[in-house]
Structure 1
Amino acid sequence: MKTIKYLVSLFLVLLLASCKSNNVNVTLLQLNDVYEISALEGGKVGGMARVETVYKQLLNENPNTYILMAGDFLNPSLLGTLKYQGQNIRGKQMIEVMNALPIKLATFGNHEFDLNEADLQKRLNESTFDWVSANTKRIKNDSISLFYKEQNNQITPLFETYILEVTQKNQKFKIGFLSLTIDDTKKNYVSYEDKFLSAKRVYKGLKSQSDLVLGFTHLKKATDGELLKQFPEIPLIMGGHEHTNMFLTQGASHITKADANAKSVYVHRIVYNTKIKKATINSTLVYLDSTIVQDAEILKIVNKWQAIQDAQIKGVIKNPEAVVYHAQVPLDGKDTPVRSVQTNLGQIIAQSMAAASKSSVDCAFVNGGSIRIDDELRGAITGIDIFRVLPFGGSVY
């Protein structure tokens, strides 16, 4: 009897070892809607330097770890509205940080197309990571083609679909990325193909070349859900556009979005068994708070750009750090409330717009999306805080 138990135990151990030897482990760190490279709330939350710390921890756990950016990172920000060495910054600071992390793959969000064609091309050329989008193309001279990078006098088209190939102990695993972007920002140099037509056009070929296909989108959550209805075999869509973290379930599939401005990130641990051709995905939301230290090397880059911002603002306001208002209660400029309900900060801005109008008005409307600080203003409020709240230009009529 003891011999039988021993043989059964030995068989199970060998079987488990055999299964593990066929496994390939991949970790994907998902970011989306990151406008600020600096930490928020007095340095306590978010910041790309904290992203790097988490990335290094994951990399130590699994060398097959990659950072993905699901759109909206070049604009808007206060820093992006300024100039440096005679040129518009327009996301240059973000590209430098993303290169340093390093980002593996990014897709377009609607705010990338806030930039004019020339500035966007500069950012593409500066990037060392890959870009992918199935439904966004460039219009030039009445023809439609893929966006591209121009580096070292060579033109390289961006990817329409993307395959990440990972090798672990001679076992290969290919992840295909189906990437789509919302068509909210209309520009004469951007062509948007219908999202679902794009998906149908590229999916079959992507699936045939991949062991696993994942969604990598910048769409409304409802549109992500429609995409899963058409392609229910996609187990995970890593998305952006909404600014609040979410984990949505639809059938056997999931949609994940992290909080804007890297207040949180999603970590997806994927285990693929090459023998049975099956993947398991474990997704965890990680909050980037004060318990996570800021990486020193990335913080150097952040501080460099912060100094540039401070110097530029002094060219507009003599003393940008001077207190202009003292908030007895916190003024709520966080993304979700300013886009959905009346907040005290929104009320102050609307009243200010009405007072600044050239005509006598009975009321004023302000687009909640123009309030970009994604934070609460507490206590002493300075001129530079006002710029951070409302970084866009424009006039009051």
Structure 2
Amino acid sequence: MTTSPPGVHRAASTGLPRPTTVPAAGGRRVSPRPVAVLIALSAAIAGCSPRDAIRSPGEDAATVGTVTLLAINDVYRIEGVDGGTVGGLARVRSLRQDLERDHPELLLLHAGDFLYPSLLSDTYDGAQMVDLMNRLDGDPGGFDARMVVTFGNHEFEKQRLAQASLLEERIRESQFTWLGSDLEWATGEDGAAAVEAPNLVRSTTIESNGLRVGIFSVSTDERHPEYVERFSDRALVTRRLSQALRDAGADLVIALTHLPAPEDLALMEATALDGPDLVIGGHEHARTAEQSTDGRWLLKADADARSATLVRLTLRADGSVDTLHEFLDLGPAVEPDADAAQRTRWWLDRHQAEYCAERDEGAGCLDVVVGTTSVRLLAEENHIRRFETNLGNWVADRARELFPDAEVALINAGSLRLNQDIPAGPIRVRVLEELFAYPNKLVALTVDAATLRAALLRSVENWTGSGAFLQVSGIAFRFDPQATGDQRVRDITLLDRGAPLREGDEVTVVTWDFLHGGGDDYTMWTEIAPRTLDLDFAQHIRQLLESQDEPIAPTVEGRICNLSEATALEPCLAMPRDQR
């Protein structure tokens, strides 16, 4: 499995082979898959606008039709990141409007995770996000028939049965289609589903450029709220709905998923002959372009609309499908849509006024400076969810020092929700509130060597920007992304002892109660009795920063020593075998 590097996928200069056809199975029409797939030239390199970059080179006699779609996933902030200069829904609106000049029947897909978590959603439960998404077609009051979304795990942040009505309210407010193909909703005594709305369906078919595009969804069961009876078998749902959509006349079938990439690929392999033509996914927060063994694409954009995925699907007369894709960066060069930007500002100003009033603090309290840093603190998710970072070290150190007997602290990067670096200079209240989005409590556990090793192996199990990746304190180890199984982690060293971790060792580890309870699949220690610290960690960090006379200046020390080519020569605190 390979994750596409930053940048734009480019076509080989030697030319591209034609797609081949996978034969139908069981007499059922199957949309054949290409073995070789066309890949787009960068708009920036070509010196043209994004909408020019994906124009057809000319009509092919063998072409039945072409569909163009734009996709985003895992967007938590209406305003974007990096001080609003990157991402944000006003830029998505601008990009969509630009593309629609040449592709008026463009489809817009969102692969889940947008209602939560965010600082604004703590107050508005995602109402601000739905409001801005309703404006992505320029008509906030009209239904957007070409926009389709699905459920990510964070749509289920509110998990109690009594909170089902809140999710239903957000869905009913939405002027677009929601897909819940694999969700079996709990029912009440009257037989009514706990969540239902006219725009919540199992699948949908949209006509675009003369082709009928069938879309269904698959969502992760990482969070299982009380109002969802069950998550249906993924492979079964995929086969049945792919067939049902094709039987109903769909020319192309797309799966809109919110799953870890390895699970997406496993699903694609399990449904090779009777699955979708394309998978548009979410859950990973870094742009991803993977192919199944039969040539179908799995595509995901960067989180928080740092980028969007632009795709063109061309159906050929022989039944094969060409897939052309490109990642479009939504940075400062993309001018935000004025109306959407104004509405974003309205929500931000409203929230700050209400936040400060509720806490009896002065106007603009979220912009108050609480500390300073003399170095850039790395919190952007492509870094903090894959590598040791100076911010991760600093947070883990602060957690460990709260338990005097603790030797190790393990903090999952998914709990540090900023997704943008903190520049050298002032640290404001808003940054801390966004960084610590969850009210997690710290716990201390006494674990054996096998349990600690299992936790580190879980951390690097899915090295594609997963929130399960750990930032650590008091421990160092080497990690080989190319290895498999237990060989991915080696040379585990307890830094206070100055010694390697040995069989029979017992270690006091500090972590979140979320991880102790099995969150992010850290199930290895759920039966170990914890010591819980009843402390608001975010408030503790604020008070700590306010008490500092000097700026903080954490560094990357070599606690997590990645053996990939780019970082293998960096300093490492883990003790190699020949020094033990």
Q: TM-score range by the shorter chain?
A: 0.7 to 0.9
Question: Is the CA contact 1:69–1:106 (under 8 Å) kept in the aligned structure 2?
Answer: yes
* Structure 2 residue aligned with 1:79: 120
Give me the whole-angstrom Cα distance separating, in 2, the residues matched to 1:58 and 1:41.
Answer: 25
Q: Which has the higher helix share?
A: 1
* Structure 1 residue aligned with 2:134: 99
Give a deviation string over 1:11-55, Cα, whole Å, max 9, x none: xxxxx87939x7533221000000011021122211111111110
* 3-state SS of paired residue (1:349): helix
Structure 1 residue 391, shift from structure 2 partner: 1.7
Counterparts of 1:1-397 in structure 2, within 5 Å, are: 19=61, 23-82=64-123, 89-102=124-137, 104-115=147-158, 116-141=163-188, 145=193, 147-149=195-197, 156=198, 158-166=200-208, 168=209, 172-190=210-228, 191-209=230-248, 210-233=250-273, 234-250=276-292, 251-272=294-315, 277-315=319-357, 316=359, 317-318=361-362, 319-355=365-401, 361-378=406-423, 379-396=425-442, 397=533
Cα distance change, pair 386–145 in 1 and its aligned pair in 2 (3 A): same
Question: Is the CA contact 1:138–1:144 (under 8 Å) kept in the aligned structure 2?
Answer: no
Cα distance change, pair 290–183 in 1 and its aligned pair in 2 (3 A): same
Cα distance change, pair 146–394 in 1 and its aligned pair in 2 (3 A): closer
Question: Is the CA contact 1:370–1:392 (under 8 Å) kept in the aligned structure 2?
Answer: yes
Give me the whole-angstrom Cα distance separating, in 2, the residues matched to 1:343 and 1:312.
Answer: 34
**What is the aligned residue count?**
363
Overall identity of the aligned pairs, in %: 28
Q: Which has the higher strand share?
A: 1
Cα distance change, pair 17–321 in 1 and its aligned pair in 2 (3 A): closer
Cα distance change, pair 73–361 in 1 and its aligned pair in 2 (3 A): same
Structure 1 residue 388, shift from structure 2 partner: 1.1
* 3-state SS of paired residue (2:134): helix
Question: Is the CA contact 1:46–1:289 (under 8 Å) kept in the aligned structure 2?
Answer: yes
Q: Which amino acid aligns with 1:79?
A: L
Give a deviation string over 1:120-145, Cα, whole Å, max 9, x none: 11101101100112211211337695
Q: Which amino acid aligns with 1:66?
A: L
Give me the whole-angstrom Cα distance separating, in 2, the residues matched to 1:313 and 1:78.
Answer: 10
Give a deviation string over 1:282-325, Cα, whole Å, max 9, x none: 11110111111111011011111111222133233543322222
Normalised by the length of structure 2, the TM-score is 0.59
Give me the whole-angstrom Cα distance separating, in 2, the residues matched to 1:290 and 1:204.
Answer: 43
Give a deviation string over 1:179-202, Cα, whole Å, max 9, x none: 100100021111211212222333
1 or 2 for the larger relative contact order (CA 8 Å, sep ≥6)? 1
* Structure 2 residue aligned with 1:86: none
Of 325-334 and 288-297, deviating more is 325-334
Give me the whole-angstrom Cα distance separating, in 1, the residues matched to 2:233 and 2:345.
Answer: 41
Give me the whole-angstrom Cα distance separating, in 1, the residues matched to 2:77 and 2:165.
Answer: 22
Give me the whole-angstrom Cα distance separating, in 2, the residues matched to 1:189 and 1:53.
Answer: 37
Give me the whole-angstrom Cα distance separating, in 2, the residues matched to 1:327 and 1:130.
Answer: 44
Structure 1 residue 344, shift from structure 2 partner: 1.8
Question: Is the CA contact 1:26–1:271 (under 8 Å) kept in the aligned structure 2?
Answer: yes
* 3-state SS of paired residue (2:327): strand
* 3-state SS of paired residue (1:131): strand
Q: Unaligned stretches of 5+ in structure 2?
A: 1-57, 138-143, 443-532, 534-580
Question: Is the CA contact 1:146–1:160 (under 8 Å) kept in the aligned structure 2?
Answer: no
Q: Which amino acid aligns with 2:254?
A: L
Question: Is the CA contact 1:235–1:252 (under 8 Å) kept in the aligned structure 2?
Answer: no
Runs of 4 or more consecutive aligned structure 1 residues displaced over 6 Å after TM superposition: none
Give me the whole-angstrom Cα distance separating, in 1, the residues matched to 2:173 and 2:402.
Answer: 40
Cα distance change, pair 201–236 in 1 and its aligned pair in 2 (3 A): closer
Give me the whole-angstrom Cα distance separating, in 1, the residues matched to 2:397 and 2:187.
Answer: 43
Question: Is the CA contact 2:165–2:195 (under 8 Å) kept in the aligned structure 1?
Answer: no
* Structure 2 residue aligned with 1:152: none
Give me the whole-angstrom Cα distance separating, in 2, the residues matched to 1:75 and 1:17.
Answer: 43
- CA-based RMSD: 2.4
Give a deviation string over 1:150-170, Cα, whole Å, max 9, x none: xxxxxx26221221123x4xx
Question: Is the CA contact 1:81–1:392 (under 8 Å) kept in the aligned structure 2?
Answer: no
* 3-state SS of paired residue (1:332): coil
Of 126-135 and 225-234, deviating more is 225-234
Question: Is the CA contact 1:27–1:58 (under 8 Å) kept in the aligned structure 2?
Answer: no
Structure 1 residue 243, shift from structure 2 partner: 0.3
Structure 1 residue 334, shift from structure 2 partner: 1.7
Structure 1 residue 356, shift from structure 2 partner: 5.3
Give me the whole-angstrom Cα distance separating, in 2, the residues matched to 1:368 and 1:177.
Answer: 32
Give me the whole-angstrom Cα distance separating, in 1, the residues matched to 2:59 and 2:129.
Answer: 44
* 3-state SS of paired residue (2:366): coil
